[in-house]
Amino acid sequence: MNKIWESPNLISVIILVVVLAIAAGYVVFTLNQRPETESFTVDDDYYFPYNFDRLDRVVKLPNELAEISGLCRGFAPDEVFAVQDEIGTVFRVNSRSGELLQQIKFDKDLDYEGIARKDDDMYVLEADGDIHYFAYQDTAIEIPSRKLETSFSYRNDTEGICYDSITNTLLIVPKAQELNPQSDNESRRGIYTYDLRQAALNSQPTYYIDELEVGQIVFNTNRPYVVNPSGIAVDPLTGDIFVLSAAGHVLVVIDRDSQIKHVELLEKGTFGQPEGIAFGANGDLYVSSEGRGGRGIIATLSRKGQPTTTDEQR
């Protein structure tokens, strides 16, 4: 009688059965961990004005923006500015068609992760925290930028930046390590402010998102939900702060006291790697995602008004 190790075919079958059993167990575990819903409004007085189940528009972008990494509001309706990884160029894009309307070379090719605009001033965030800025010109194809250095470094991996008109600051979020990590609040993801008047970065977070709080909302248990910020924007109508995370495919809305108002889990099939977020002047929301081997996209979500009693009864 042959011993089992003398029957390679039988060994292969046993290994296959074990692998399939492990895979099946993982699938069951994953399904059991999936939240029952993908939209969580925490504040009873807050109305989340976007429906991610019914995107108004999704446009595919040219190859130049396959790795789109940041968005900010344009000057005209339905226009946005964008940057992409490793190219020192700002792109003006039609959000309805995906057409490239203008390309401005501002510096050498590095790792650029975000873009913000205050009036005519453009600010492009590098992964090491340096901010490249220049004054926009609508006919230019090249504008040399100047650089603002911060206390961040590549270990922080800064990915999101936006202009906050309420405080006249730039809001910056690191994806990786905090600027000054604290052992007593390791679950907090900081949002830092760069004062444009003082040309200085606040070394401590001005706002934050607590991963344990997000996990409590999503899973209804004391379990953290990973939030590695990849984009940030300020709602022009409410002043609330929207933070996007490619890890976990999640959008978190907080107020100025860092209280979570809403959590939205994004559909992975559409948003493969969401890294850019911006608002139009009318409150419409734009979210961009890298192509991950294909073409990048920009999704548009029209702002919905607060439902009336009649609307709620339908």
Q: Per-residue pLDDT for 5 more than 70?
A: no
DSSP symbols for 215-276: HHHHHSSS-----EEEEEEE-TTT--EEEEEEETTEEEEE-TT--EEEEEEPPTTT-SSEEE
Phi-psi region of 293 (alpha: psi -120 to 50; beta: other; left: phi over 0): left
Assess contact for 176 and 187: CB atoms under 8 A: no
Q: Is 179 helix (H, G, I), strand (E, B) or coil?
A: coil
The tokens for 134 are 């220049």
Q: Which range is least confidently modeled, 32-46, 69-83, 243-257?
A: 32-46
Q: What distance in Å separates the CA atoms of residue 303 and residue 283, rounded to the nearest whole number?
A: 6
**Domain at 40-313, CATH from 3.40.50.300, 3.40.50.1220, 2.120.10.30, 3.40.1190.20:** 2.120.10.30
Q: What are the extents of the domains in the chain?
A: 1-34, 40-313
Q: What distance in Å separates the CA atoms of residue 230 and residue 174, rounded to the nearest whole number?
A: 8
The pLDDT of residue 28: 41
pLDDT tens digit sequence for 153-178: 999 999 999 999 999 999 999 999 99
What confidence category does residue 184 fall into, taking pLDDT thresholds of 50, 70 and 90? confident
Assess contact for 224 and 210: CB atoms under 8 A: no
pLDDT tens digit sequence for 54-100: 999 999 999 999 999 999 999 999 999 999 999 999 999 999 999 99
pTM of the predicted model as reported, rounded to 2 decimal places: 0.87
